[in-house]
Structure 1
């Protein structure tokens, strides 16, 4: 099947080498690699403008979010929320970060967590 050459922003997309089954996945678990790629993608804005997911009833990953029928899906897992920018690294609701902070605080006082 003939595929036209990608536009410059498509060639620069972090998801360019991913399988279409990942990029167009409807479930968060299958879309995780694309969501992670989007978190550091230099052309996320161009992608969202070109795809226009809300207007096109898009299914898949676009601009760091998972879309179903043109609606952004609220991320469920902390990993997906972080990839989508909803939970920055070190967020106070990140269980591992809270545990590390608690351990550090207790280490300074000679206490232990139990």
Structure 2
């Protein structure tokens, strides 16, 4: 909040940002403190937490980091788990795109 901004304007912006996040999901490892990097123990079970507008509430428990990413981002990973719901990986774009077969 700047010195010249009225409190009412600041409060409206603050509440709009908070409301926009309602329903947002995040994954937290069940072992150890929150805020650790996902790479520290990717095989550990994860809590899926949903923002309610006031707090992060427990939504579900998943087996590991890969399962959490599939649920958070809807990514279908190739592997031994057939029928995992989600959408396929996006097609590569930009300079990293493979050239079309000739």
How would you bin the TM-score normalised by the shorter chain?
under 0.3
- TM-score w.r.t. the length of structure 2 is 0.23
* More helix per residue: 1
* More strand per residue: 2
- TM-score w.r.t. the length of structure 1 is 0.22
Between structure 1 and structure 2, the one with the greater Rg is 2
